[in-house]
Amino acid sequence: MASMQLQDILYSQGFGTRRICAGLVQQGHVQVDLGEGLVDCDDPLQEVDAQEGRMYSVQGVLWPYHAKAYVLLHKPAGYECSHKPSAWPSLYTLLPAALRQRPQKSAVQGVQAVGRLDQDTTGMLVLTDDGPLIHRMSSPRHHVPKVYEVTTDDPLDAQQVQRLLNGVVLDDSPKPVRAAACEALAEHHLRLTLTEGKYHQVKRMLAAVGNKVVGLHRSKIGEMPLPDDLKPGQWRWITDDEMKLLTGK
């Protein structure tokens, strides 16, 4: 376990530049759990073991140290999955500033959503600053299943379900796009599982079989369902066990 200067630990967690982090420490706004509860620390150069999960208090807010951030967000309707939204608020405004400011080597700072949801789509989003994980979970090569609860305008029939399973051709690709699983749960409720993510894919697939999406909610990624106790607009850290369900590892 490597040790780091306290100001560098705070910087790595997104609390500002090293100068700002040093100032937070010097002004008495930082406490660290060194094994027996939180204690005041006023030296920004103090060496602290970069222990995963170690608790800090920064301006009265408890914060666990994570070398990489893995968080779960229940996206409500009316938010865009963009740092620079065009018409609706950014979903990143639902996160604390520290998650938005975590330093990265790329020009874009902070955690990024693993796959986007349209502004009117609700449900499960994973956000992280782990680039390889974003690639692995987003790439169609890895076939990470994502489950959607679809409310349709017209009643569903067996022919529509079968066509979604057989594959439909979308206007940007001659290769048919197939649902990995598809089940009509009610007259206007479809549960659809996809292993790739194209632009407006669910809406376009339903349009291709002669129906229309009027409600869309992502309920599961990998083997992990959206927790019942995570309400729209809320976020929390992903546990190690949940990461195994998400990634299959």
How does pLDDT run across 54-84, given as a tens digit for each residue?
999 999 999 999 999 999 999 999 999 998 8
Question: What pLDDT was estimated at residue 249?
Answer: 75
| Other beta carbons within 10 Å of 63 | 18
Q: Is the pLDDT of residue 237 over 90?
A: yes
Question: What pLDDT was estimated at residue 171?
Answer: 83
Q: Is the pLDDT of residue 142 over 90?
A: no
Would you give the DSSP letter of residue 171? T
Residue written as token pair 């790595």: 12
> Is-catalytic flag, 240?
no
Residue written as token pair 């009265």: 60
- Domains of the chain from N-terminus onward: 3-64 (3.10.290.10), 70-140+224-247 (3.30.70.580), 145-221 (3.30.70.1560)
Alpha carbon distance 72, 226 (integer Å) = 9
Asked which of 2-16, 112-126, 138-152 is least confident by mean pLDDT, the reply is 138-152
Question: What pLDDT was estimated at residue 21?
Answer: 98
Q: Is the pLDDT of residue 52 over 80?
A: yes
- Comparing CA positions, the residue from 129, 100, 86 lying closest to residue 15 is 100
Question: What pLDDT was estimated at residue 25?
Answer: 98
Condensed to tens digits (0 to 9), the pLDDT of residues 148-158 reads 999 999 999 99
Q: Give me the mean pLDDT over the 209-236 stretch.
A: 97
Query: 3-class DSSP state for residue 11?
Result: helix
Of 8, 33, 118, 129, which residue is the catalytic one?
A: 118
Q: Give me the mean pLDDT over the 17-26 stretch.
A: 97
Asked which of 2-6, 103-107, 119-123, 134-138 is least confident by mean pLDDT, the reply is 103-107
User: Which distant-in-sequence residues (6+ apart) come within 8 Å of 8 by Cβ?
Assistant: 18, 21
**Banded model confidence at residue 137, pLDDT cuts 50, 70, 90:** confident
**Banded model confidence at residue 198, pLDDT cuts 50, 70, 90:** confident
Q: Is the pLDDT of residue 43 over 90?
A: yes
Question: What pLDDT was estimated at residue 11?
Answer: 97
Alpha carbon distance 229, 215 (integer Å) = 21
Question: What pLDDT was estimated at residue 63?
Answer: 98
